[in-house]
Structure 1
């Protein structure tokens, strides 16, 4: 209850009780002779005052409810603003993450190794009885792009069959793969062999990458006047 209404209620109460007191003193009223009369007298004196304070309390309660409603509305608006701000912040974070990913992808692309395979071929091992046996594939692996670190060549069973610490830009390394370590798909009729390998490595920013290749070998067939062929090509 605000101070103004409280002062008014106190003043009315004092005036009322003062008026009753003056009427009692100067009006020659008889004192209650029984408890019933005393109760009726007190009820008559204090009922209006109690009713006054009840009304004032009700009014004050209504004002407090209005104030609480206003405060809740203000809190709701503040919460909506906060939610809106959080949504904008999340959107900005998403956009920032997208930009950072694009920048990171651009950096990775700029240092991406580019492998070129040249001079591929295979060799034979001759047994004492004169028979020949295919033993290894050779090719030169040239890097025309960024540095490739911890480079492995693996067969299709993911077993490492070749390793080099690093291939720098424009560097060439000779690769030799033992055919015993390759899972060969052999066509006896066509005298061809096919093997799958994978080259995996880390770029300059230690990002892991892997390229898949196939090795195609075609042996010589005199009846078809066919030469030996060895191709190493990248798979899609």
Structure 2
């Protein structure tokens, strides 16, 4: 709208000049009417060409200038559009980044929730009344063959089913696998007794690990396992040959 108004304002002086020029030509021609009557056609052509050539040249120059200004304005408009498009692209990029951050936060929250639910579906085993007794040993008690492990197992978290306990680090040795169907949360402890046949030469100050692999189905009925390390040490507080054990959670499947 503004460009149209500017163009009209530029047209007015040019129209006035053109009108004055034509009026001047008419006034000059009225005094020589007799000569116009005697003019031949080619003279008329020369007269009209000479009369209107300056006027046509003036309009031609005005048209070129007007076209150049319009082209400049179109160029500026294209630059503004390009700048707006660039700003829009940058805003879209920022929006995509914000969306990615939000999705990552949602994903992390979901992952943490799934991890928490998975952990809550697992049992948490507690060992009580742990005892170890060598059933086969040499007279001085330094070499042991068959070991008897006994302890009470209790669960303080998710219910577990079809539990079996085996030895994880002596695959070639047969262990008497203990199995039971159900270990609920905060119920009475399950009494476990295991026999491990392997030869161990005991030296003063040494301890040896026994890894118990507890296989079970969790609260989601998914098969899982936990590995509990029993660290066996000589108990010097007793006059007889005795041992004490410490537990450490070593591995798991979830």
| TM-score (structure 1 length as normaliser) | 0.60
User: Cα–Cα, structure 1 residues 56 and 151, in superposed 2: closer, same or farther, change >3 Å?
Assistant: same
User: Cα–Cα, structure 1 residues 210 and 60, in superposed 2: closer, same or farther, change >3 Å?
Assistant: same
Is residue 2:232 matched to residue 1:215? yes
| Secondary structure, counterpart of 1:93 in structure 2 | helix
Is residue 2:149 matched to residue 1:139? yes
1:77-135 alpha-carbon deviations (Å, 9 max, x no partner): 34433433332332233233334333433333xx2233335453222489xxxxxx853
Alpha-carbon distance in structure 2 between the residues aligned to 1:201 and 1:79 = 51
Q: What's the counterpart of residue 87 of structure 1?
A: 101
Is residue 2:65 matched to residue 1:55? no
User: Cα–Cα, structure 1 residues 56 and 217, in superposed 2: closer, same or farther, change >3 Å?
Assistant: closer
Is residue 2:110 matched to residue 1:96? yes
User: What are the ranges of 5 or more consecutive residues in structure 1 without an aligned counterpart?
Assistant: 33-39, 127-132, 220-224
Alpha-carbon distance in structure 1 between the residues aligned to 2:207 and 2:78 = 87
Is residue 2:242 matched to residue 1:229? yes
Alpha-carbon distance in structure 1 between the residues aligned to 2:71 and 2:130 = 98
1:172-213 alpha-carbon deviations (Å, 9 max, x no partner): 343111133xxx2423xx6x9853211122342434321111
Conserved? CA contact 2:168–2:227, under 8 Å: no
User: Cα–Cα, structure 1 residues 62 and 209, in superposed 2: closer, same or farther, change >3 Å?
Assistant: same
Is residue 2:189 matched to residue 1:177? no
**2:223 is matched with which residue: 196, 206, 210?**
206
**Higher Cα radius of gyration:** 2
User: Cα–Cα, structure 1 residues 143 and 136, in superposed 2: closer, same or farther, change >3 Å?
Assistant: same
**Deviation at 1:232?**
3.8
Is residue 2:192 matched to residue 1:197? no
Is residue 2:105 matched to residue 1:105? no
Bigger shift: residues 164-173 or 64-73: 164-173
Is residue 2:135 matched to residue 1:123? yes
**Deviation at 1:161?**
4.0
Q: What's the counterpart of residue 36 of structure 2?
A: none
CA RMSD of the aligned region, Å? 4.7
Q: What's the counterpart of residue 130 of structure 1?
A: none
Conserved? CA contact 1:113–1:144, under 8 Å: yes
User: Cα–Cα, structure 1 residues 233 and 73, in superposed 2: closer, same or farther, change >3 Å?
Assistant: closer
**Deviation at 1:136?**
1.1
| TM-score (structure 2 length as normaliser) | 0.57
Conserved? CA contact 1:185–1:194, under 8 Å: no
Alpha-carbon distance in structure 2 between the residues aligned to 1:139 and 1:92 = 47
User: How many residue pairs get matched?
Assistant: 205
